[in-house]
């Protein structure tokens, strides 16, 4: 078998495993997902996303998607939270904590303080029996059977599952809020949609002394 064929087969295996991971999410969507949405919709605060490593990268994307679709959200690095950034979080906020293992030390360290402050927490984990899942008010189960990595080590299927669950949460909230294209434009003023919906002739036209003129003669 030539190298080209091996590479294609490896890619196909990766894609199949990640598709299976996403299909697993469909089967596990339940009342916990509904309760998570209802908690966020009823909240007067923000959704504060935390995560370490690859989960942190996924968390930043989830926070950005939430923020651009009507749910005020931002990312806080859990290690920095232990050194002052917990001050960015209020009792009205909801923490969305991402950890595939559910035992990430930097997040687990924060649990006593989160409980003491009375901050509600939604966890998104690959282990519903983990420390983080048990400590959370609601756990979103993003368990995967096998990483796409043939060593079953590099976060691949698990990060895809977490990202898709985050998208599902953001879009469900978007639908529930009746978020419109015009609303989207206000959070994307620099994009093509924002310019099309928000930019008016008066914003770009020259008038008065700003009009170019040519002297006769």
Instruction: Tell me the percentage of the chain whose pLDDT exceeds 70.
Output: 87
Is the predicted pLDDT of residue 167 greater than 60, yes or no? yes
At residue 144, the pLDDT reads 97
Q: Please state, in angstroms and rounded to a whole number, the distance separating the CA atoms of residues 127 and 143.
A: 6
CA distances from 169 to 29, 55, 86, 160 (A): 11, 16, 24, 14
Mean pLDDT over the full length of the chain: 91
Q: Please state, in angstroms and rounded to a whole number, the distance separating the CA atoms of residues 11 and 33.
A: 31
Is the predicted pLDDT of residue 133 greater than 70, yes or no? yes
Q: Residue 94: which of 62, 58, 60, 120 has the closest Cα?
A: 120
Is the predicted pLDDT of residue 214 greater than 70, yes or no? no
At residue 212, the pLDDT reads 65
Task: Name 48's bridge partners.
Answer: 74, 95
Q: Which two tokens stand for residue 205?
A: 């036209």
Is the predicted pLDDT of residue 201 greater than 70, yes or no? no
Q: Which two tokens stand for residue 110?
A: 């924060």
Phi-psi group of 48: left, alpha or beta (phi > 0 → left; psi -120 to 50 → alpha; rest → beta):
beta
Q: Please state, in angstroms and rounded to a whole number, the distance separating the CA atoms of residues 135 and 140.
A: 13
- Could you tell me which residue, 79 or 206, shows the higher pLDDT? 79
User: Does an H or E element contain 124, and which?
Assistant: strand 120-125
The pLDDT tens digits for 4-16 are 999 999 999 999 9
Instruction: Tell me the percentage of the chain whose pLDDT exceeds 90.
Output: 81
Q: Which two tokens stand for residue 203?
A: 């914003």
Q: For residue 146, what is the DSSP state?
A: S
Residue 13 CB contacts under 8 Å (≥ 6 apart), including other chains:
148, 150
Q: Phi and psi for 32 in degrees, rounded to 5?
A: -65, -40
Note the CATH architecture for domain 10-178: 3-Layer(aba) Sandwich (3.40)
Task: Name 125's bridge partners.
Answer: 99, 141
Is the predicted pLDDT of residue 203 greater than 70, yes or no? no
CA distances from 187 to 67, 73, 194 (A): 8, 13, 8
- Could you tell me which residue, 106 or 192, shows the higher pLDDT? 106
- Could you tell me which residue, 122 or 196, shows the higher pLDDT? 122
């Amino acid at each position: 078998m030539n190298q080209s064929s091996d590479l294609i087969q490896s890619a196909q295996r990766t894609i199949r495993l990640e598709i299976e991971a996403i299909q697993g999410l469909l089967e596990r969507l339940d009342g916990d997902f509904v309760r998570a949405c209802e908690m966020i919709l009823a909240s007067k605060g923000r959704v504060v996303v935390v995560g370490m490593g690859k989960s942190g990268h996924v968390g930043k994307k989830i926070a950005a998607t939430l923020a651009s679709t009507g749910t005020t959200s931002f990312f806080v690095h859990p290690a920095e939270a232990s050194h002052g950034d917990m001050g960015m979080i209020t009792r009205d906020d909801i923490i969305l904590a991402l950890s595939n293992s559910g035992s990430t030390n930097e997040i687990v360290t924060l649990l006593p303080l989160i409980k003491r402050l009375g901050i509600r927490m939604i966890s998104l984990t690959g282990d519903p029996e983990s420390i983080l899942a048990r400590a959370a008010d609601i756990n979103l189960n993003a368990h995967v059977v096998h990483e796409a990595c043939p060593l079953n080590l590099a976060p691949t299927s698990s990060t895809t599952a977490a990202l898709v669950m985050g998208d599902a949460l953001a879009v469900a909230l978007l639908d529930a809020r009746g978020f419109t294209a015009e609303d989207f434009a206000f959070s994307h003023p620099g994009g093509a949609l924002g310019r099309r919906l928000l930019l008016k002739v008066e914003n770009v036209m020259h008038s008065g002394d700003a009009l170019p003129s040519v002297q006769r003669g």
